Structure 1
Amino acid sequence: MTNISSKGKSNMESNVDYYYDINRKLLSLAGQWPYQKPKEKRSFLILLLIFLSNVIFTQVAQFCICEDAQCIYQTLPPHMLAIMVLVKIFTFYFNRQKIKVLTDRLFIDWNMFENEDEREIMKKYAETGRWYSLIYASYVYIGTLSFTTTALVPRILDIVFPLNTSRSIMLAYPACYFVDEEQYFYYIFCHMLITAALSMTGLIAHDCMLFVYIEHVCGLFAVIGYRFKHLHKNDNEKKSMINYPNDVSYKNIVFAVNAHRKALQFVVLLENTFTVPFTIQILIVTVGMSITLVQFSIQLHNLAEATRYIVFIICQLIHLFCFSFQGQKLINHSLETCDKIFYSSWYEIPVNAQRLLLMVLRKSIIASTLTAGKIYVFSLESFTTVLQTSMSYFTVLSSFNE
């Protein structure tokens, strides 16, 4: 562990750090970056939890004063989102040792590959992870801003299309501030905008880092597949493989087998770190989306409210789709290793090397997955299952409101 940490820190100063700079900044703001100074890490984490507690406190206060089911339905979706952010923050906090090992591997694994083509493959996947992080962070912040600023719609309509009386105020999300909301509307709006945007940093940091981990292990599988696919580069090397089983090419196969083992270990550690928190998140997404659909159907007559709920629904769908897409990508890359070996020149290599390939084949026929509670597998197929389940709950909840 000491050697791993020191190598990881030294490599952070290299060009490899460029691919993870967005994640480093986001996790540092959330007090979760493994290489932060302890005092700095605690300060940022406490500050983030203070902002999040501001959001949760006002939501709980509103929930407590609700007198009917309609009021409760309005309060639950944003309240469940705040709980999800809290789960994501504590996932990194309580698994900080595992996160440290995973992050160390991001930097160390680059040193395994001396072949320029293989390093280019790793760069490609690292660059993809970086772009995913940038796009996802932008989407969440823009979505939060769009959802929050819908509270200004009644005020804007009062200016553009004035009525005899002012329209009722609409807060960014159901909350109770124990003051005159009409009089202090803009103060409340600014508080909601700031606390919501900063609180979402915890969600963004968690999700973006997970995307980078998955892209990294997909890159490892791609490099391993490249090694197996190019067992021979020319006829001279083929002859060398048959007559001299201990030459460089033979050692390359041994290296690829060890790299595959390390990739599988990375996936297992990733799965063990996130499987339990994912269970809570899937439950929140399923129930939250159902309730949001109910609210949208009820508020169709109210343009401002309907717009806010449709934005929230779209954000939930994109959030779940991103996880499902990455889970499917991990499945596909892990299974492709078997195909790459099958279509290689495996029949021309020594028997000892063929036995090594059998070990990889045996493991690569089983897909590497990311699951929630070892039950729900993140994939595109499971994505449609969650949507169907949410629609079923929506139908049941709608029947109670008729």
Structure 2
Amino acid sequence: MCILALLHYHIRFRRRKKMIRLETQYFNLNRILLLAIGLWPYKQSNLTRLQFIFLSTILMTSLIFQCTPFISQKCTPDFVVQVLSSASSFAVIVIKYNMFCVNIEVMKDLLEQLQHIYNELKDKNEYAIINEYGCNARRCTAAFTICAICCVFAVIVAQFWSRIFDITLPMNVSRSYSLPITMEYFVDQEKYFYWILLHLYISFCIGVTAMVGIGTTLIAYLQHMCGMVRISSYRIKRAVDINTLKNNNLENEILILQGIISAVDIHRKAIKLFQLLAFKIEKMLFCLIVVGVVSVSLNLFQIFQIALSYGDDIKDILFPFLSVTLSILYMFVANYVAQDVTDHNNDFFATVYDVQWHETPLHIQKLILFLLQKGTKKFTISVGGLFVGSLECFATLVKTSISYFTVIYSTH
């Protein structure tokens, strides 16, 4: 009866597991965000491609109109910094939005491979590990979405703050309305002010949605891959269990070998997915790092200039402040996740070292020694061989941004 009950539970567990789709269980909010900007991998119809072209055109025209002041106005050093500070921030969005679209088939393939691995999990403990990492990714997506909504709300309120005061506390002095950043549309900006503002804020909302949706999707991918590495550590512990080693017979040796093979197999698949993802988005990350560092430096200088001039309009400093804050936050999260990947890989080999491998038969000890030798080579996520994802890299990027800011200020 006990055997039948266990068999019935195992069948029910397998059926319940196979019914669950990762895209609906853990990627639901990511799916909504990417659907809104036409980048969800499973919904690439002709209408979706038209949606992407339309939204990409809005972003590109917004970036172009931020650069056109160089044509119509005199280019002093202060003016160049002022224009480039906002244009570089939008350039980050345009790069990420378009380059993610180029790799959208890769993202679909990664999700399908994760689903396939999920369907091959062996017991409820492994399912619980994946569920833990999936919930972490889902909470991270929800937190960044809430922050993005607050940022959009703050920018809109700051823009219309003076108009709100005109309604609540009317004054005889007429207020001048201006755009939050320098742009040139080659039309009468006072006459078409609200149309220009609408275009700017639509592009801003699209950009924020793209940054959050793409960024959190990549985080979710990496979190599930970290869960796979954690499962490999669990399988090693279960394979080389002290209770199994007490009964040194052929059957237990076969069980140990099967456990080690399954642990190495899922670890190998996780590393392969890490490398595939890093290789496909390497160019995008390199461009984002370079443009992001430039953006932080220029916006820091812009904030310093506004502070020195004692500007009293909140929207003048809000855009550069948000750009600096969000860029630094993005750098930190990206490097923290990459550091987490390295730590999980190190934990796997530390687990291999900590188990009672010296109590196993000699041929199994030789097999485990190969794993220990493999662990001497540190696994990292690098970008172009120049940037290695880690907290140290984050500190280096921030330091570099501040150094460039110092150079610009001293030159000025």
Q: TM-score normalized by structure 1?
A: 0.89
- Stretch deviating more after TM superposition (39-48 or 115-124): 39-48
1:22 to 19, 22, 29: 29
Q: Give the count of matched residue pairs.
A: 390
CA displacement 1:305-362 (0-9 Å, x = unmatched): 2344223221221111111111111111111111111111111223333333233323
Equivalent AA in structure 1 for residue 342 of structure 2: I
Match for residue 192 of structure 1?
200
- Stretch deviating more after TM superposition (140-149 or 385-394): 140-149
Match for residue 272 of structure 2?
265
CA offset at residue 278 of structure 1? 0.9
Asked whether the equivalents of residues 242 and 350 of structure 1 are also in contact (C-alpha less than 8 Å), the reply is no
Looking at structure 2, the residues matched to 314 and 328 of structure 1 have their Cα atoms a distance apart, in angstroms, of: 21
1:87 to 81, 87, 95: 95
2:190 to 182, 191, 199: 182
Looking at structure 2, the residues matched to 140 and 365 of structure 1 have their Cα atoms a distance apart, in angstroms, of: 41
Equivalent AA in structure 1 for residue 317 of structure 2: A
CA displacement 1:255-299 (0-9 Å, x = unmatched): 101111111111110111122211111111111111101111110
Match for residue 315 of structure 1?
326
Match for residue 294 of structure 1?
301
Q: Tell me the SS of whatever aligns to 1:92.
A: helix
Change beyond 3 A, Cα 1:352–1:64: farther
Change beyond 3 A, Cα 1:61–1:195: same
Looking at structure 1, the residues matched to 227 and 65 of structure 2 have their Cα atoms a distance apart, in angstroms, of: 44
CA displacement 1:10-42 (0-9 Å, x = unmatched): x99625331111222222233322222432331
Q: Unmatched 5+ residue regions in structure 2? A: 1-16
1:354 to 365, 369, 379: 365
Looking at structure 2, the residues matched to 83 and 162 of structure 1 have their Cα atoms a distance apart, in angstroms, of: 39
Q: Tell me the SS of whatever aligns to 1:366.
A: coil
Change beyond 3 A, Cα 1:245–1:290: same
CA offset at residue 159 of structure 1? 5.6
Change beyond 3 A, Cα 1:349–1:310: same
Asked whether the equivalents of residues 181 and 188 of structure 1 are also in contact (C-alpha less than 8 Å), the reply is yes
- Between the aligned residues of both structures, percent identity stands at 26
Q: Tell me the SS of whatever aligns to 2:281.
A: helix
Q: Tell me the SS of whatever aligns to 2:160.
A: helix
Looking at structure 1, the residues matched to 280 and 262 of structure 2 have their Cα atoms a distance apart, in angstroms, of: 27
Equivalent AA in structure 2 for residue 348 of structure 1: E
CA offset at residue 87 of structure 1? 1.7
- Stretch deviating more after TM superposition (226-235 or 154-163): 154-163
- Stretch deviating more after TM superposition (130-139 or 109-118): 130-139
Match for residue 9 of structure 2?
none
CA displacement 1:157-176 (0-9 Å, x = unmatched): 55667766434323132212
Asked whether the equivalents of residues 60 and 94 of structure 2 are also in contact (C-alpha less than 8 Å), the reply is no
CA displacement 1:144-184 (0-9 Å, x = unmatched): 44235432344445566776643432313221233333344
CA offset at residue 55 of structure 1? 1.4
- Stretch deviating more after TM superposition (237-246 or 354-363): 237-246
Q: TM-score normalized by structure 2?
A: 0.87
Looking at structure 2, the residues matched to 145 and 178 of structure 1 have their Cα atoms a distance apart, in angstroms, of: 28
Match for residue 11 of structure 2?
none
CA offset at residue 233 of structure 1? 4.6
CA offset at residue 122 of structure 1? 0.7
Asked whether the equivalents of residues 241 and 249 of structure 1 are also in contact (C-alpha less than 8 Å), the reply is no
Asked whether the equivalents of residues 86 and 320 of structure 2 are also in contact (C-alpha less than 8 Å), the reply is no
Q: Does 1:254 align with 2:256?
A: no
Equivalent AA in structure 2 for residue 383 of structure 1: F
Q: Does 1:238 align with 2:241?
A: no
Match for residue 338 of structure 1?
349
Change beyond 3 A, Cα 1:13–1:49: farther
Equivalent AA in structure 1 for residue 381 of structure 2: L
Match for residue 218 of structure 1?
226
Equivalent AA in structure 2 for residue 282 of structure 1: I
Q: Unmatched 5+ residue regions in structure 1? A: 1-10
Asked whether the equivalents of residues 34 and 96 of structure 1 are also in contact (C-alpha less than 8 Å), the reply is yes
Q: Tell me the SS of whatever aligns to 1:230.
A: helix
Equivalent AA in structure 2 for residue 27 of structure 1: L
Q: Does 1:276 align with 2:283?
A: yes
Asked whether the equivalents of residues 231 and 345 of structure 1 are also in contact (C-alpha less than 8 Å), the reply is no
Q: Does 1:36 align with 2:47?
A: no
Looking at structure 2, the residues matched to 222 and 335 of structure 1 have their Cα atoms a distance apart, in angstroms, of: 11
Asked whether the equivalents of residues 241 and 250 of structure 1 are also in contact (C-alpha less than 8 Å), the reply is no
Asked whether the equivalents of residues 376 and 382 of structure 1 are also in contact (C-alpha less than 8 Å), the reply is yes
